[in-house]
Chains A and B, each alone.
Chain A
Amino acid sequence: MTSGNNLTPVNVLTGFLGSGKTTLLQRLLRSPRMGRTAVLINEFGEIGLDHLLVQQVDESVVLLQSGCICCSIRDDLKSALRGLLSRRERGEIPAFDRIVIETTGLADPGPILYTLLSEPVIRHHFELGNVITTVDVMNARLHLSRNREGIKQVAAADRLVLTKSDLAEPGQTEAVREELVRLNPAARLWDATHEPVDADFLLDVMPSAPAASPARYRLAIEGSRTRGDGAGEPDAANALRQHTEAVSSMSLILDRPMDWTAFGIWLSLLLNRHGDDVLRVKGILCVEGSDTPVFINGVQHIVHPPQHLERWPTPDRRSRIVFITRGIDQGRLRRSLEVFCRLQVAELAVA
C-alpha cells in the first residue's frame, strides 16, 4: 500500500458481544509494534487494559440529511479523535502513531468508517487501517442469525479473527471458517486460539509475501463463490448457512484493463440504487494507463479514496473484485459491470 504520508492509521476492532475483542486487544498491545498506540473503547469491560492511552467514547450518532444510517457521523467518535489530535499537538499526551477503536458488540461499522473517511479534520490527519472482526466460534450461528450488525461486521472486515476454537466441538471451527470465507472471501482469517498473536498480519494492509501457513493468507478470489445447495457438506456448515443465506459473495476476474471513469460511474450508480445491500466491495483493478494496480474498498455507501498500490501482489495482472451482497442477482451484477466496461471501449473508439 502506498504510504509516505503523515496520516495516523486507525484500526477498527469490532465483533459480536463477548467474542473476545478486549482479549485480542490486550494481546495486541503487548506487541512492540503497538507501543505508541492510543485506544478508544466504547465501554469498559471487566478486563482491564493497563495501557497508557485509553479513552472511553459514548455512542451517539448524528444522522445526516440523506437519512442513510451508514452515512451518518458518529459524533462521539469525531469528538474523541479530534480531542486526541489536539492533545497530541499540544504535547499533553505522548505522541501516538496509531489508534485502535474497539466498538461495542452491536455497533454497525458503517457510521464509524464514514466518520473516519468523511469528517474534514479527521480525514486529513488519520487514515483507515484494517478493520478487524472477532468471531466467537461457539456463538457464531447465534450472532449471525440474530444481528444484522453481525453480518455487517463480518462483511466490513479485512481480518477475521476466530476465537474460542479450543472450546468448540469437532467440525464446528471448520464450519464457521467455511461460512466466513463464503461470506467474505476478501478477508484473511486468523485463529487466535491456536496461533501466536501476529500484529503485522493484523495491521498490515497488504502483506508483501505469503507466510508459512498458506490457508491464513488465502485470498479466495478465484471463481464465483455463491451459495451452493450444500450437498455433501457437514451438518454444522449447513446449519450455519441457513441463517446467512440471503448474503452471498461473488469474486469477479476481469481480463481487460478497465477505464476508471466507467467503473466509477457504474459503482456510484450501483451504490445509489442498491447501497444498503452491497455490504462490501473490495478489489484490485487493472486500470487503463496505469502500470500499478488500484485498490478499491467500499462498505455499503461508503467508498475509500482509491489508492495506487506500489506493485502487483502476484504476476496475475487482471482486475479482481469481491462483492458481498444481500438479495442481489449476481449474474446480473456481473453482466451490468461487463457491459459498462465494454461501453467504455466503444466510447473510446469514437472519441
Chain B
Amino acid sequence: MCGLCGVFLGEAHWTDAIVGAAGHGVRTRRHDRLHRVALANRILKQYGMKLSDWQGSAYLLAGQTGQTAIVSSVAAVWSQADRLRKQSIDPLDERLIEFLEQS
C-alpha cells in the first residue's frame, strides 16, 4: 500500500509489462504509462470518455457525465468503462474500426 495516498498496489497486470521500447525508444515506466494512456484515449474518445494517469500507480477514468473511477490496469479500464456507459466497448465494432481508420 502507498503510505502517502493509501492506494493498495496490486500485482502487475500483464498489460503493464515493459516489453521493448515505447515511443521514441525511451524505456521508462513513466513514459510507458503516458503512452498507454494516450493510446487508450484514442479509443475512449469515440465514447466521450477520458483516461488519465493517477499518481503513477493507477488510472482515472472519466465518463461522459462526469462520473469518475479509479482503476489499476488498462484491462480494468474496459470493464469500468462498460459500467459507466452501461454498454460494452467492442473492438470488433465496425463503427469503431472505421473511426480508428479515419482518425
* Contact indicator A260/B20 (Cβ below 8 Å): yes
Contact with B along A279-300 (1 / 0, CB 8 A): 0000000011110001000000
**Interfacial residues of chain B within 42-98, with CB under 8 A of chain A in the complex:** 42-43, 73-75, 78-79, 82, 88-92, 94, 97
Most chain A beta-carbon neighbours within 10 Å: one of B25, B32, B90:
B90
Q: What is the CA–CA distance of A267 and B31 in the complex, to the nearest angstrom?
A: 21
Partner of B92, one of A294, A306, A332, A351: A332
Q: Which A residues are CB-close (under 8 A) to B24?
A: 348, 351
Sort chain A's interface into a size bin.
Answer: 35 or more
Q: What is the CA–CA distance of A288 and B20 in the complex, to the nearest angstrom?
A: 6
Q: Which B residues are CB-close (under 8 A) to A262?
A: 39
Q: Which A residues are CB-close (under 8 A) to B32?
A: 261
Q: What is the CA–CA distance of A340 and B82 in the complex, to the nearest angstrom?
A: 20
* Contact indicator A332/B74 (Cβ below 8 Å): no
* Contact indicator A336/B91 (Cβ below 8 Å): yes
The interface residues of chain A, by DSSP majority, are classed as helix
Q: Given A268-B74, A304-B14, A340–B23 Cβ distance below 8 Å?
A: no
Q: Is B27 an interface residue (CB 8 A)?
A: yes
Q: Is A269 an interface residue (CB 8 A)?
A: yes
B89 CB to nearest chain A CB (Å):
7
A222 CB to nearest chain B CB (Å):
24
* Contact indicator B79/A339 (Cβ below 8 Å): no
Q: Which B residues are CB-close (under 8 A) to A288?
A: 20-22
Q: Determine, out of A72-80, A232-240, A270-278, the stretch whose residues face the partner at the interface.
A: A270-278
Q: Given A264-B14, A273-B78, A303-B14, A290–B91 Cβ distance below 8 Å?
A: no
Q: Given A265-B36, A343-B42, A272–B20 Cβ distance below 8 Å?
A: no
Most chain B beta-carbon neighbours within 10 Å: one of A268, A270, A343:
A268
Q: What is the CA–CA distance of A342 and B14 in the complex, to the nearest angstrom?
A: 22
B29 CB to nearest chain A CB (Å):
12
Most chain A beta-carbon neighbours within 10 Å: one of B17, B22, B32, B42:
B22
A56 CB to nearest chain B CB (Å):
30
Q: Which A residues are CB-close (under 8 A) to B14?
A: 264, 303-306
* Contact indicator B101/A259 (Cβ below 8 Å): no
Q: Which A residues are CB-close (under 8 A) to B43?
A: 265, 269
Q: Is A308 an interface residue (CB 8 A)?
A: yes
Q: Is A333 an interface residue (CB 8 A)?
A: yes
Q: Is A46 an interface residue (CB 8 A)?
A: no
Q: Which B residues are CB-close (under 8 A) to A90?
A: none
A211 CB to nearest chain B CB (Å):
30
Interface residues of A (CB under 8 A from B): 120, 259-262, 264-274, 287-290, 294, 303-306, 308, 328-329, 332-333, 335-336, 339-340, 342-344, 346-348, 351
Q: Could you list some 26 contacts between A and B, CB below 8 A?
A: A260-B17, A260-B22, A261-B15, A261-B32, A261-B35, A261-B36, A261-B39, A265-B36, A268-B15, A268-B73, A268-B74, A272-B75, A272-B88, A288-B20, A288-B22, A289-B22, A290-B21, A294-B19, A303-B14, A304-B14, A306-B14, A306-B17, A332-B97, A333-B92, A343-B100, A344-B39
